[in-house]
Chains A and B, each alone.
Chain A
Amino acid sequence: MGSKRVYSICAMCTGRCPIVVDVNGNEVEHIWGNPHLLGGYHLCPRGAAGKALLNDTERPQTPLIRDGERGSGKWKSVSWDEALDYVAEKLKKIIDTYGAKSVVLSDRGGAITEFEKTFIAAIGSPNYFNHHAACSNSIHNAHLSVAGLARNGVTYDYKNCKYLVSFGRNLLESLVTGEAKNVIDMIDNGGKLIQIDVRWNYTAAKADRFFLINPGTDYALALALIHVIIKDSLYDSDFVKRWTVGFEELSNFVKPYTPEFAEKETGIPAAEIVKLAHDVGNAKPSVIFHLGWMTAWYSNDFYLRRAICSLNALLGVYEAKGGLIINKGPAAVGKPLKSLLAQVPKPKDPRFDGCGTKYPHLSGQWGLAQELAHVLLTDDPYPVRAYIVFRHDPLASLPDPDFFRSAFKKLDLLVSIDVNYSETGWFSDVILPEDTYLERTDHVIARNGPKPGYILRQAAVQRRFDTRPRWWIFKELANRLGVGQYFPYNSIEELIAWQLEGTGYKLEDFNEKGYIELVDKPIMWDRTDGLKFKTPSGKIEFISKKLEDAGVPSFIPYEKPIELKPGRFRLVTSKCALHTQGRTTSNNRLLNEYVSENHLYIHEDKAVELGIKEGDLLEVENEGEKQYIKAKLTKYIHPDVVFMLHGFGDDVPLRTRSFGKGASDIRLQKGLAKVAIGGNCPYTECTVSVKKAN
């Protein structure tokens, strides 16, 4: 054990697990899970490997200003004053010419977003957006429309769950520590996991039943389940009566979607669909239809997700033991944190991405990252000239990065604030290197859930290089732009004291366990009278007037997926336990040792047809883009599908461990920077041809 222990929050992925860091002198000895919150020192492999990030010299070590063409990799190392003055001067000029709205800012989303949101609003721009067009937009917008709750507005009560149905959520590989552990606890307690996917994976390996579904037909399955649940009266009639609107319409809508119909579409036997509907009906309300995480699959994803939300509602799982518990924040117990953002007047201009205007049904909370390239190229609705990208890597996550690169040429200023050299950072004008999560303290965040509280990321060691924390970077930029009054603190300790004013707590109160709990017992709202769904009706809305007023139907009929041309495959991607989204882990010394490249998984029958053997180098092609990757043969993938891990094919030469290794999925996803109805990009509509490379 080290000489001191520091409680904090992991940042190796966006799971943000609570951690405790053993520190010896100024070295991190070990990173563990916070035992007070995780029931032990459990921590996923990426979290454990965080130690290798700290002393890694393959991350930006000083502020850098471009000294050559964009993307040329020629950098001039400068002081913080020089870099910040440079950025501020450029921003001033752009704001004077085009208005504040021509400055946009994105991050990865999540809970620790107060500084950047405050900054962009303080300069008068409405244009904050995040990564979720490449991830959860469709489920976020669907859950908002059905239940008035954010995607992450509920806590999954896995431990008490009897039936967990997952449409492709790879819970045990694209994993978050606590969630994976809780799902395993559920299975250990006799709960059933039903996994539905186009390929088998380690989550499927643990499932009670695994259904290999025809790609693009999940919506047919969800509708047939609703059909059986209504027809056989398996739903929670009290809950439906009390808490939903539009049940009649839903019942009529699903009439044609019989199990037999769904069998033809999905390839899953009708009898199995009926059995599943009865199983969940019998287990209700201790049932969870997982809402999904990365749900940017198809153009109609929004409706699949609305159907999944509807299944949860029909079974009355909200606020039920073993179901979905509605999150309560510190405000629910009268102890809200003070917010920097709340002090800033809301900018009046319409958003650049059309949320609230062109797309009246989509939430501007998360925005539409994919619209940026189109807006840049057309100046419609107005010119955007500066882009600040903060711990986010659109060029490593949005479809077709070269399309974005060409659009980014229209920018007068592209600034990357990041711990790593990101693909976007590599193409930017200025890199402002942030302290790693082990070197910085962030603002306090609310822990929303059945037991609301606060939690804090705290520096465990001193910084290694000439980097800075986010609270300082945004304050300094704001000062230079004349809006420093919105960052009324001189140190993070001062800010934290201000945030906690009126709560009765102080910074030291985090020392004991790393978090503060505001209640002893979980707050459970009364299921007959106390539920709060933030929809216009205050209920679950199978029929949404708000959607329909925006010209978006509440239901759409099932449509067959776009037909696959001969010789083509549907490209599907996911993560593994050792790597996470994009480029935050691929160059990590410890993790790269385990998985340094990705492989193309292809059905063995298809491989035989194409003369492909295990380990062969393959050429994967779409619309002229070619990627090279080694073959892995498997029986357990849909024959129409090929699969690769996301996040490989690194273009940044300074990241020597991951540079050039494996294939890039996003480069193959040509033409998919589209806004589907749920606000997501339709990633799985990408098809490719595969052959042995010469």
Chain B
Amino acid sequence: MGKYYIFQDQKRCIGCYACELHCKTKNNAPEGAKLCRIVPTGPQVVKGVPRMHFVFMPCFHCEKPWCVYACPTGAMTKRAKDGIVYVNQDLCVGCKNCITACPWGVPQWNSETGKVMKCDFCMDRIDQGLEPACVTGCTTGALKFVSPSEASQIKREKFAKDISPLKK
């Protein structure tokens, strides 16, 4: 079962791409491969000021992962204990079926190894009790590594604060 979720606080995100850079350096991703992405949308005027929305897109580690079903060699794996979807590099033959199958184009082509690499929530860090590199290095602390239910709680609390008449 999926245990983890990366919550992105839109109010804090400044679209600086540090998350992507920390991810790239942590995972030695070659040119062109971006395991997580910030996608800027906007500007659009809200209350008189043109606003941006920076959408953070790691892998969603789906409960029913298209990529895993599409993989002919069993390289794309869902880890039983926490639901992390990762590539077993020894088994990957570089057929790219997973890239085609994932609705969001999350798996990335590694031009140096001729195999696929993808966001595995920095599994090795998690196993050491740390958090993914993107979350850890984010310039403003906009990303939080939480469980899906914590994420919904944070979202509700933020919304409640925003609409509360008792705001400071």
Which residues of A are in contact with B by a Cβ distance under 8 Å?
1, 30-33, 39-45, 47-49, 51-52, 172-173, 175, 177, 180-181, 184, 187-188, 190, 200, 202, 204-210, 577-578, 589-591, 593-594, 635-636
- CA of A42 to CA of B143, assembled, Å: 11
Does the CB pair B139–A41 fall under 8 Å? no
Partner of B136, one of A32, A45, A208, A594: A32
Partner of B16, one of A175, A188, A205, A590: A175
B18 within 8 A of A: yes
Partner of A42, one of B42, B43, B140: B140
Does the CB pair B139–A177 fall under 8 Å? yes
Q: Which of B24-32, B58-66, B68-76, B112-120 contacts A (4 or more CB under 8 A)?
A: B24-32
Does the CB pair B137–A42 fall under 8 Å? yes
B52 within 8 A of A: yes
Chain A residues within an 8 Å CB radius of B137: 32-33, 41-43, 48
Q: Which of B7-15, B82-90, B97-105, B146-154 contacts A (4 or more CB under 8 A)?
A: B7-15
The digit string for B123-143, where 1 denotes a CB below 8 A from any CB of A, is 000001010010011111110
**Which residue on chain B has the smallest CB distance to residue A33?**
B137
A-B contact pairs, 30 of them (CB 8 A): A1-B128, A1-B130, A30-B25, A30-B26, A30-B133, A31-B25, A40-B141, A43-B139, A44-B139, A45-B17, A45-B18, A47-B18, A48-B21, A48-B25, A49-B21, A172-B14, A180-B14, A180-B16, A184-B142, A202-B14, A202-B52, A205-B50, A210-B48, A210-B49, A578-B16, A589-B31, A590-B21, A591-B21, A594-B17, A636-B50
Does the CB pair A190–B168 fall under 8 Å? yes
Number of interface residues of B (CB under 8 A): 34
- How far does the Cβ of A295 sit from chain B's closest Cβ, in whole Å? 22
- How far does the Cβ of B141 sit from chain A's closest Cβ, in whole Å? 6
A interface SS class: mixed
Chain A residues within an 8 Å CB radius of B43: 200, 205, 636
- CA of A33 to CA of B20, assembled, Å: 16
Does the CB pair B138–A42 fall under 8 Å? yes
Chain B residues within an 8 Å CB radius of A48: 18, 21-22, 25, 137
**Which residue on chain A has the smallest CB distance to residue B12?**
A184
- How far does the Cβ of A610 sit from chain B's closest Cβ, in whole Å? 23
Chain A residues within an 8 Å CB radius of B16: 44-45, 172-173, 175, 180, 577-578
**Which residue on chain A has the smallest CB distance to residue B44?**
A205
Chain A residues within an 8 Å CB radius of B141: 39-40, 42, 181, 184
- CA of A187 to CA of B31, assembled, Å: 35
Chain A residues within an 8 Å CB radius of B14: 172-173, 175, 180, 184, 202, 206, 577
Does the CB pair A43–B18 fall under 8 Å? yes
- How far does the Cβ of A289 sit from chain B's closest Cβ, in whole Å? 20
* Residue from B15, B21, B128, B142 with most neighbouring chain A CB atoms (10 Å): B21
Partner of B42, one of A44, A205, A210: A205
- CA of A304 to CA of B142, assembled, Å: 35
- CA of A210 to CA of B133, assembled, Å: 33
Does the CB pair A207–B49 fall under 8 Å? yes
How many A-B pairs have beta carbons closer than 8 Å: the answer is 111
B81 within 8 A of A: no
- How far does the Cβ of A76 sit from chain B's closest Cβ, in whole Å? 33
Chain B residues within an 8 Å CB radius of A39: 141
- CA of A200 to CA of B31, assembled, Å: 31
Chain A residues within an 8 Å CB radius of B15: 202, 577
B51 within 8 A of A: yes
- How far does the Cβ of B140 sit from chain A's closest Cβ, in whole Å? 4
- CA of A13 to CA of B107, assembled, Å: 33
- How far does the Cβ of B8 sit from chain A's closest Cβ, in whole Å? 13
Does the CB pair A187–B18 fall under 8 Å? no
Chain B residues within an 8 Å CB radius of A208: 49
- CA of A204 to CA of B48, assembled, Å: 11
Chain A residues within an 8 Å CB radius of B51: 205
Given contact pairs A594-B17, A635-B50, enumerate 11 new A-B contacts (beta carbons under 8 Å). Answer: A1-B130, A39-B141, A47-B18, A49-B21, A184-B142, A200-B43, A202-B52, A205-B51, A577-B17, A578-B17, A636-B50
Partner of A45, one of B20, B26, B32, B168: B20
**CB within 8 Å for A593 and B31 given contacts A42-B140, A184-B12:** yes
- How far does the Cβ of A49 sit from chain B's closest Cβ, in whole Å? 5
- How far does the Cβ of B43 sit from chain A's closest Cβ, in whole Å? 6
**Which residue on chain A has the smallest CB distance to residue B17?**
A45
Does the CB pair A42–B167 fall under 8 Å? no
- CA of A285 to CA of B151, assembled, Å: 37
- CA of A19 to CA of B138, assembled, Å: 14
- CA of A52 to CA of B25, assembled, Å: 9
Does the CB pair B130–A205 fall under 8 Å? no
Chain B residues within an 8 Å CB radius of A187: 11
Does the CB pair A188–B50 fall under 8 Å? no
Chain A residues within an 8 Å CB radius of B12: 184, 188
**Which residue on chain A has the smallest CB distance to residue B9?**
A188
Chain A residues within an 8 Å CB radius of B24: 590
Chain A residues within an 8 Å CB radius of B133: 30
Chain B residues within an 8 Å CB radius of A577: 14-18, 139
- How far does the Cβ of B90 sit from chain A's closest Cβ, in whole Å? 22
**CB within 8 Å for A210 and B167 given contacts A187-B11, A593-B31:** no
- CA of A528 to CA of B131, assembled, Å: 48
Does the CB pair B18–A44 fall under 8 Å? yes
* Residue from B26, B48, B137, B142 with most neighbouring chain A CB atoms (10 Å): B137
Please name the 8 residue pairs, one residue from A and one from B, whose CB atoms are nearest each other, closest first.
A577-B16, A48-B21, A45-B21, A45-B18, A184-B140, A205-B52, A172-B14, A190-B168
- How far does the Cβ of B92 sit from chain A's closest Cβ, in whole Å? 23
- CA of A644 to CA of B118, assembled, Å: 34
Does the CB pair B136–A180 fall under 8 Å? no
Does the CB pair A590–B139 fall under 8 Å? no
* Residue from A1, A577, A636 with most neighbouring chain B CB atoms (10 Å): A577
- How far does the Cβ of B57 sit from chain A's closest Cβ, in whole Å? 16
Chain B residues within an 8 Å CB radius of A44: 16, 18, 139
* Residue from A32, A51, A202, A210 with most neighbouring chain B CB atoms (10 Å): A202
- How far does the Cβ of B72 sit from chain A's closest Cβ, in whole Å? 31
Does the CB pair A180–B25 fall under 8 Å? no
* Residue from B12, B25, B138 with most neighbouring chain A CB atoms (10 Å): B25
* Residue from B14, B20, B43, B167 with most neighbouring chain A CB atoms (10 Å): B14
Does the CB pair B25–A49 fall under 8 Å? yes
- How far does the Cβ of A31 sit from chain B's closest Cβ, in whole Å? 8
- CA of A461 to CA of B55, assembled, Å: 36
Does the CB pair A41–B136 fall under 8 Å? yes
**CB within 8 Å for A43 and B50 given contacts A205-B43, A577-B14:** no
- How far does the Cβ of A261 sit from chain B's closest Cβ, in whole Å? 24
Chain B residues within an 8 Å CB radius of A589: 31
* Residue from B15, B18, B24, B128 with most neighbouring chain A CB atoms (10 Å): B18
- How far does the Cβ of A127 sit from chain B's closest Cβ, in whole Å? 38
